[in-house]
């Protein structure tokens, strides 16, 4: 708790939200903020990164799949209603989250199953719909994280590579994400390019669900194959509650 009795935020390290800026000062926090030098916009039809200024050229940007209207307006209303029945926990950079996944220690490469009960029941139809896409027919998620962004919190996600914390950025490619759409990042777009969500793009409440699959080490023939099979059995039971 703060001295004034208000709850402290969940930010750590260089991550920040509006409450951080009120307490620590905006200028102090911005000294560590990555600066994008060249701005590009992803074109889903051509699959090119198109420059926002005349001094740069288009380039191929593979590893992005975008499907608009993945869910209907009616489904959206029901999903939000169901998601809001579970408790939201404070997260970093002004977000709140609901985590359905195993506890992972990436440094020690250990996975703890005790609190993991699977993906939520409401996601069963979504996963089946994803798998109906040719590029996702083998997709078997083992983790789901629901995230809530609010402009009054300054919600965002800093540029990052999954499971890595590097903080240098010189070229920025924006991918416009329409409401109720499905976005898949794979290959170079996920593992060579950092991804983020900027606070200035959050104009009202935004709720999204992120799904992640197992790495090769946990699949058939991998060194953690037995653990991977257990994780998938639990995940795809669709009986999960937030951990």
Q: Say if residue 224 is exposed, middle or buried (CB neighbours under 10 Å; 0-12, 13-18, 19+).
A: middle
Is position 58 within any domain?
Answer: no
- Nearest C-alpha neighbor of 209 from the set 97, 106, 125, 105: 97
Decide if 46 is inside a domain.
Answer: no
Q: How many domains does the chain have?
A: 1
How much is the pTM? 0.85
Domain contains 164? yes
On whether residue 5 sits in a domain, the answer given is no
Is 45 among the domain residues?
A: no
Would residue 50 count as lying in a domain? no
Cα 2 to Cα 6, 16, 59, 133, distances in angstroms: 5, 16, 48, 48
Q: How many residues does the chain have?
A: 243
State the CATH number of the domain containing residue 156.
Answer: 2.60.120.590
* Number of other CB atoms surrounding residue 199 within 10 Å: 18
For 134-147, write each residue's pLDDT tens digit.
Answer: 989 999 999 999 99
- The count of C-alpha atoms lying within 13 angstroms of the C-alpha of 56, restricted to the half-sphere facing its C-beta, is 16
In a domain, 207, yes or no: yes
Asked if 56 and 38 count as a contact pair (C-beta separation under 8 A), the reply is yes
* Cα 151 to Cα 153: distance, rounded to the nearest angstrom: 5
* Cα–Cα distance for residue pair 83/183, rounded to 1 Å: 19
Q: What is the pLDDT along the chain (243 residues), one digit of tens a residue?
A: 343 334 578 888 777 898 887 776 655 545 455 555 788 999 999 999 999 887 789 999 999 999 999 999 999 999 999 999 999 999 999 999 999 998 887 777 788 888 899 999 999 999 999 999 998 999 999 999 999 999 999 999 988 877 643 333 377 889 999 999 999 998 888 888 888 999 999 999 999 999 998 888 888 887 888 988 999 999 999 999 998
**Residue ranges making up the domain that contains 90:** 18-38+65-184+191-235
121 inside domain: yes
């Amino acid at each position: 708790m703060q001295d004034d009795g208000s709850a402290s935020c969940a930010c750590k390290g260089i991550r920040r939200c509006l409450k951080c800026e009120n307490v620590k000062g905006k200028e102090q926090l911005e000294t560590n903020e990555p600066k994008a030098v060249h701005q590009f916009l992803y074109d889903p039809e051509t699959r090119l990164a198109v420059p926002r200024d005349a001094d740069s050229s288009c380039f191929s940007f593979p590893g992005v799949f975008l499907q608009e209207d993945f869910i209907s307006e009616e489904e959206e209303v029901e999903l939000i209603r169901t998601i809001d029945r579970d408790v939201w926990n404070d997260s970093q950079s002004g977000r709140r989250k609901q985590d359905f996944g195993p506890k992972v220690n990436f440094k020690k490469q250990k996975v703890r199953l005790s609190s993991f009960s699977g993906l939520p029941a409401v996601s069963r139809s979504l996963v089946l719909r994803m798998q109906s896409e040719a590029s996702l027919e083998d997709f078997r998620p083992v983790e789901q994280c629901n995230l809530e962004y609010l402009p009054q919190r300054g919600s965002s996600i800093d540029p990052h590579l999954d499971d890595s914390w590097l903080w240098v950025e010189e070229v920025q490619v924006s991918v416009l994400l329409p409401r109720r759409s499905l976005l898949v990042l794979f290959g170079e777009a996920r593992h060579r390019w950092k991804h983020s969500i900027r606070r200035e793009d959050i104009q009202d409440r935004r709720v999204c669900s992120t799904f992640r699959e197992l790495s090769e080490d946990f699949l058939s023939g991998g060194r953690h194959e037995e653990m991977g099979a257990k994780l998938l059995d639990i995940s795809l039971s669709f009986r999960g509650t937030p951990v």
